[in-house]
Amino acid sequence: MTGQTTEQATGRPTEQATGWPTEQVTGRTTGHTVPADHGSAAHDNRRQVLYWRLLARLFDHEEQATLESASLAVVEDIGLPPALLDPATSVDSIVQRHPELTEEFEGLMVPEPDDDGARDHAAEVRRAALVSKVLLNVFAAGSGTVTAAQLSRWQSDAGWLERAFGCKPGDLRGGRGAGGGAAGPGVTPTGSGGRGTTPDLSRLIPAIGPELGSIEADLVKRMHLREVLADPQLASRLTPSMSLIEQLLRDKNNLSGVALANAKALIRRFVDEVAEVLRTQVEKATVGALDRSVPPKRVFRNLDLDRTIWKNLTNWSPEEERLYVDRLYYRHTARKTTPQRLIVVVDQSGSMVDSMVNCTILASIFAGLPKVDVHLIAYDTQALDLTPWVHDPFETLLRTNLGGGTDGTVAMALAQPKVAEPRNTVVVWISDFYEWRTEQLFESMSALHRSGVKFIPVGSVTSSGRGSVNPWFRERFKDLGTPVISGHIRKLVQELKTFLA
């Protein structure tokens, strides 16, 4: 701060601090208008005012009156609604009152092509105002008790931030696609939608996704969740998210009556939404090779028109210009399937809740495939065989107990007897591998691998793709030839489909 004035330190755009007259910044504070010939400098000054206000709001709880009035004048001068500066107004409310702004919020932070190097300074000012609105509503989450309405509004605003990055709501937070559509959960590596070019989000998401998840988790913790659940009207305003589901699973044994029923309804909604998305990913590729020993089914949808025409070309009549068909050809659709056993072992300690939820749902989907025998084991310091409920992820999750330590040897004691035919068995082990008996557990995993079992260690199957894995295990799995899968759950889906094919 040496050599700066007080106004420079606080970010107030006085003439002494910024070097420009106040009327040049806003065109209104002193009753003057900004002449057109001020050009790009005036636009740059306005943009800086909006960003100074953004920084001040993010890092200082006290309102800067000068910045607020200057920003209001800028917003009004460029034809945007003053409600953009009201922290209590959601982005949803803005676009409902001003639907013409919807398209501007979509892909707002996606880089635009800059072929000739020219800058649209006026457009940059407008974008600064919209960007400030989205960022403040998401990252200035405040303090104190949070209501169901406030959580719902924040989740909606976070969805608009994700849309601004060219993603779909729920992508960056590592949750589900909004409305349970086929869009999420999970981010597309290069973004989707939005205007201009889509950004490479591979570096951006690991930084922003967990941060958004952390803010959401903090909001959930600041709620009087039990009281909210006990009120059907308030509970109906909650939007399921991974953070909320984690809290519900942790607290389910302390709930009863209406509160427990509302908690189960929220868990069911979340499970159904995520399952719809994961089911789409699993079903994108069929399992098994074509079985040509089985005659093709002679129905119209299997008709191989190209082959039929090719095989009957000798029957072409030039005089009649007709092709006479002696035989129809059909495509084979039956597939060879070898009975496969899939054993999923999931660490249910507190650090693995996201993986626990995702993999429980994923196991139920694979359990619905033909010729796939799925077993599910959850563990912390004790192991629980959840195979009887594997087809119903909702019931499975209600039987889990999040938290506690981690002792994988108890899970291995349940998993090993389930391996009947090693060559037709895959064991998926999901954990951060911060274990109590490290060497003993690794030796038993190595023995499974040597027996012919396809052993897949997974360190993170969250939608955000972020997770911490014990370096000791990571190095040894790499030496074993079974490197740890880390990243998006799609990686695990693809690995399993490859094995089961």
- Give the pLDDT confidence of 162-204 residue by residue, as tens digits: 888 888 777 776 544 333 333 333 333 333 334 444 445 545 5
- Is 30 domain-assigned? yes
Q: Are residues 200 and 315 in the same domain?
A: no
pLDDT score at 185: 34
Instruction: Dump pLDDT digits (tens) for 33-68.
Output: 434 445 678 888 898 999 999 898 888 777 788 889
pLDDT score at 25: 43
Domains in the chain, number = 3
pLDDT score at 110: 80
Q: Are residues 36 and 161 in the same domain?
A: yes
Instruction: Dump pLDDT digits (tens) for 241-256.
Output: 877 887 888 788 888 8
pTM of the predicted structure, to 2 decimals: 0.58
Q: Are residues 319 and 401 in the same domain?
A: no
pLDDT score at 123: 87
Q: Are residues 316 and 366 in the same domain?
A: no
Q: Are residues 74 and 15 in the same domain?
A: yes
Q: Are residues 389 and 314 in the same domain?
A: no
Residue 215 pLDDT class (50, 70, 90 cuts): confident
**Are 309 and 345 within 8 A, CB to CB?**
no
Q: Are residues 346 and 302 in the same domain?
A: no
Q: Are residues 28 and 57 in the same domain?
A: yes
Query: Would you say residue 3 has pLDDT above 50?
Result: no
Average pLDDT over the chain reads 76
Paired sense of beta strands 322-323 and 383-385, if any: unpaired
> Three-state SS for 264?
helix
- Is 255 domain-assigned? no
Q: Are residues 95 and 133 in the same domain?
A: yes
- Of 200, 217, 234, the position where a domain reaches its end is 217
- Is 19 domain-assigned? yes
- Is 264 domain-assigned? no
Distance CA 69, CA 28 (A): 10
- Is 479 domain-assigned? yes
Q: Are residues 366 and 300 in the same domain?
A: no
- Of 189, 217, 245, the position where a domain reaches its end is 217
pLDDT score at 289: 53
Name the H helices within 27-145: 39-59, 65-77, 91-97, 102-105, 121-139
Question: Domain limits at 354?
Answer: 338-500
Query: Would you say residue 286 has pLDDT above 90?
Result: no
Query: Would you say residue 139 has pLDDT above 70?
Result: yes
Residue 23 pLDDT class (50, 70, 90 cuts): very low
Q: Is pLDDT larger for residue 364 or for residue 192? A: 364
Query: Would you say residue 450 has pLDDT above 50?
Result: yes
SS3 track for 228-257: HHHCHHHHCCCCCCHHHHHHHHHHHHHCCH
- Is 417 domain-assigned? yes
Instruction: Dump pLDDT digits (tens) for 296-348.
Output: 777 777 788 888 888 888 888 888 888 888 888 888 665 555 558 889 898 88
- Is 330 domain-assigned? no
